[in-house]
Amino acid sequence: MRKLVLGKRGAEATTVEVWFVVIGLILAALVTTGLLKKTVDDIKGKTLEKNYIARDIALALDAVYAAPGDVEYTYSLKKYKFVVEIKDSKVFVKDSLGEKDATAGIYDYFGDPDSKLSVRITPLPDDPRPMLVTLGNRNDVLLVKAENAFLEEDVAFT
């Protein structure tokens, strides 16, 4: 059995070493692809838009909850077709249902800690009308309604 001495002419590489190189190249390709996608999203402004909308909705929820009396506020997502999830005192804005929380726009709000508010708002496919999210406070209970979108309440989020 010969020892492999790196850097020597005529040195042999074993099958195991070749597989380590192949696996390393595959992992490098996966990491590079992920970084390129993140970079493209950042350049296109998608990441910024998701963060902005998450913060805006969370601040609107805070304002609606803090307002005295009953109040309703309608938030228009204009041309955006993002999925909005409100759960665990956080607002998540995602490109699609399958998007991981790590790449979503996320922001906390300070509503009632005992509130079990858990909703998902999904855009209607091929609908040119803007999604409208109505945030309300009735008798100190936060309410969420949606127009031109699917609204799921008390869903088990993945």
Give the chain's domain count. Answer: 1
Q: Is 36 a domain residue?
A: no
pLDDT band at 149 (very low <50, low <70, confident <90, very high): very high
Instruction: Classify residue 115: in a domain, yes or no.
Output: yes
Domain span including residue 126: 46-153
Report pLDDT digits (tens) over 1-46. 455 555 566 556 678 888 889 999 999 999 999 888 878 777 776 7
**Rounded (10°) angle between helices 46-66 and 15-44:** 60
Examine residue 15 and state whether it is found in any structural domain, yes or no: no
What pLDDT is stored for residue 84 in this prediction?
94
The b/e string for 49-80 (b: 16+ C-beta within 10 A; e otherwise) is ebeebbbbbbebbeebbeeeeeeeeebebeeb
Global pTM reads 0.69
List, for residues 55-110, the tens digit of each pLDDT value.
999 999 999 988 888 999 999 998 889 999 998 889 999 988 888 777 788 888 88
Side-chain half-sphere exposure of 146, counting CA atoms within 13 A: 20
Note whether residue 31 is domain-resident.
no
